[in-house]
Amino acid sequence: MRAGARLALYGAGLAVAFGGAFAAAGAVIPDRVVAGWTDRGEMNQHDAGKSTNEAQTEESTPNGVSIEAGGFVLAPIAAPGDVGARGELSFQVQTLSGEAVTEFAEAHEKDLHLIVVRADGAEFRHVHPQLDEATGTWSLPWTWDSAGTYRVYADFTPATEGAEGVTLTRTVEVAGTFSPVTSEVRRTAEVDDFDVTLDGDLTAGTTSDVTVSVARDGKPVTALEPYLGAFGHLVALRDGDLAYLHVHAQGDAPRVGSTAGPEIGFMAEAPTAGRYLLYFDFQVDGTVHTAEFVVDAGHGEMHGASDETHSDDADGH
């Protein structure tokens, strides 16, 4: 199995690519735009010899819904089992033969990005555990704030030359009284003393401009600081299967001391119509904040769906 090629297709196929498929298409990416799967998207171009059937099958496999990908497995996660219990969250990335992986390639200033979110989209965390290079165990202090089923994502790049990024995921159950949150479309977020707004519509199968704007006390914030090598990070999860899309700001890495804002642009390509949960990380005055949005992607034009009635003037909804 050509793991690299398959991963490339994950990126392009799941297309949220929020940039990856966009890059693969050879289009021009504006400055300040964001692309997470650029590498995977480019890999896709080298894959032209693949049969259409094979490519289509693989493209339908979304990123970040499996414990296994690219020859790696996310081993069971150890974590406190109850709300409020202080402890540690730890895990290993292993090869298919069960060996712990101890070397990773740095991406966006970290060897591994850990995303933890409750299955209803609440309780989002984006953190960076420490690796014990002797054992291959990643860990960090951990306390759950609420009960429920959680999805834990390990987003990393293998140390092998030319390797593509891998996202593995597992569920973790946390005991306690569970109060699920029903997601509703939300384009503005109040986080700490910031008002953050998401503009732009998502349409399935097409690339859309999405802009995040940050204000404080009604004034635009132009003091967004570099964080993990970008002025802002966007994680997108597809509601329903929590397929994962980690997006970083495109363009030159910000210089130390430089700032940006109030707007950060992203390219978004939703693979399917329906709901997406977006988490925007940004840093001001040395503190990282996360704004949460919920948006619905509309149905785009379906290619090859010739046997379906298609209305070209269906703009009335």
Q: Least distance in Å: CB of 284 to Cu ion?
A: 18
Stretch that binds Cu ion, among 79-87, 109-117, 254-262, 269-277 (CB under 5 A): 109-117
Instruction: Provide the token pair at 241.
Output: 């299967």
Q: Which helix (H) or strand (E) holds 23?
A: helix 20-24
Which of 6, 40, 113, 151 touches Cu ion by CB under 5 A? Answer: 113
Q: Which residues have a Cβ under 8 Å from the Cβ of 171 and sit 6 or more positions away?
A: 119, 149, 150, 151, 152
Across 281-294, b (16+ Cβ under 10 Å) vs e yields bbbbeeeebbbbbb
Q: What is the DSSP letter of 244?
A: E
Decide: 268 and 296 in contact? Cβ < 8 Å.
Answer: no
Do the Cβ atoms of 126 and 281 come closer than 8 Å?
A: yes
Minimum distance of Cu ion from residue 110's CB (angstroms): 5
Output phi, psi for 262, to 5 deg: -80, -5
Distance of CA 262 to the CA centre of its chain: 22
The piece of 111-119, 145-153, 188-196, 292-300 that touches Cu ion (CB under 5 A) is: 111-119
Q: Which of residues 154-183 bind Cu ion (CB under 5 A)?
A: none
Spatial distance between the Cα atoms of 274 and 240, rounded to a whole number of angstroms? 9
Nearer to Cu ion, 128 or 216 (CB): 128
Q: Which is nearer to Cu ion, 6 or 126 (CB)?
A: 126
For Cu ion, which residue has the nearest CB?
113
246 binds Cu ion (CB under 5 A): no
Q: Which is nearer to Cu ion, 24 or 264 (CB)?
A: 264
**C-beta of 130: minimal distance to Cu ion in Å?**
13
Cβ of residue 115: shortest distance to Cu ion, in angstroms? 8
Q: Least Å distance between CB 281 and Cu ion?
A: 8
Q: How far is the CB of 18 from Cu ion (least distance, A)?
A: 16
113 vs 151, beta carbon nearer Cu ion: 113
> Which of positions 255-284 make contact with Cu ion (CB under 5 A)?
none
Determine contact, residues 208/200, Cβ cutoff 8 Å. Answer: yes
8 A C-beta contact, residue 142 and residue 87? yes
x/- mask, Cu ion, residues 30-69, rule CB under 5 A, reads: ----------------------------------------
Helix, coil or strand: residue 127? strand
Nearest distance from C-beta of residue 126 to Cu ion, angstroms: 5
Q: Give the distance from CA 166 to its chain's centroid.
A: 11
Nearest CB to Cu ion, comparing residues 40 and 113:
113
Q: How many residues bind Cu ion (CB under 5 A)?
A: 1
Query: Interface with Cu ion by CB under 5 A: which range of 9-17, 28-36, 108-116, 253-261?
Result: 108-116
Output phi, psi for 49, to 5 deg: -75, -10
The contact set with Cu ion (CB under 5 A) reads: 113
